[in-house]
Amino acid sequence: MELQCCAPSHEEAVQSLATALANLGFEVTEVLVTEWVDRAVEGLIVGLLGGGALGATSRNSCVVVAAGIAGAIAWRYVGAQMQVVKRQYVAKRRAYPAGWEVTPVETAPGSGLAPRPAM
């Protein structure tokens, strides 16, 4: 099951999801928490530079500015759609003291992606 939640901490997010699932009759003992980031800023910069470079071939400063802005807007949207795993954690329910133990999952070097732990 995959759910999305925004909370101040991973423990609070996991606890709120576990409580909601408990109301449906499920018990949660282990959870994989994934932090995602988008690439909107990278897309904006690439679009600005690429659009400006294309506009520069016209040798008209207005066209350079307009092409740069159009490229920045378009590529910012594209970058916002590209999500990358920032970090992953495994949260396990503790019996005592009650709560969740959240530990980071090691990422594969150079992959940019975190491997899924054995559950």
Residue 117, CB-side half-sphere exposure with 13 Å CA sphere: 17
Where do the domains of the chain lie? Answer: 1-36+86-119, 40-81
CA distance 24 to 79: 37
Q: Which two tokens stand for residue 88?
A: 């992953």
Residue 115 pLDDT > 50, yes or no?
A: no
pTM of the model: 0.56
CA distance 65 to 86: 33
Lowest mean pLDDT, pick from 11-20, 42-51, 58-67, 106-115: 106-115
pLDDT in tens, 44-101: 888 888 888 888 888 888 888 888 888 888 888 888 888 888 888 888 888 778 788 8
Buried b (16+ CB within 10 A) or exposed e, 49-64: ebbbeebeeeeeeebb
Distance in Å from the first CA to the final CA of the chain: 13
